[in-house]
Amino acid sequence: MKVYRCGYCGQPTNSDGVPLSLDECNAITEDDLKEATLVHGMCCAKEWCDNIPEKRIINVTRDMAIDAGDLSLEGEEWIW
């Protein structure tokens, strides 16, 4: 069984960093956890983003706002 874990807190996740359900976690063995691949877990996305050494701030363009489906976002700052 291929297991992934959040590199920040260790929570078992899928390959996209989405935390597993309780039943899925219960099916994981200690040996599986030792061999787990670390990913950026969605469980700690905020903490991970807050610890990026250099935050990038971009201004939302009209095209970006259109893509997001919310024109009110145009001109806003977005921290990345």
The pLDDT tens digits for 21-39 are 999 999 999 888 889 999 8
Q: Of 74, 4, 25, 16, which Cα lies nearest the Cα of 45?
A: 16
As a whole-number percent, the residues of the chain with pLDDT over 90 amount to 28
Domain total for the chain? Answer: 1
Q: Which stretches of the chain are DSSP H helices?
A: 22-26, 30-34, 45-50, 62-68
- pLDDT band for position 50 (cuts 50, 70, 90): low
Mean residue pLDDT of the chain comes to: 84
Pairing of strands 37-39, 4-6: parallel
Domain holding 27, by residue range, is 4-79
The pLDDT of residue 2 is above 80: yes
The pLDDT tens digits for 62-79 are 988 898 888 998 998 877
**Rounded (5°) CA angle 39-44-47:** 115
Q: What is the DSSP letter of 54?
A: S
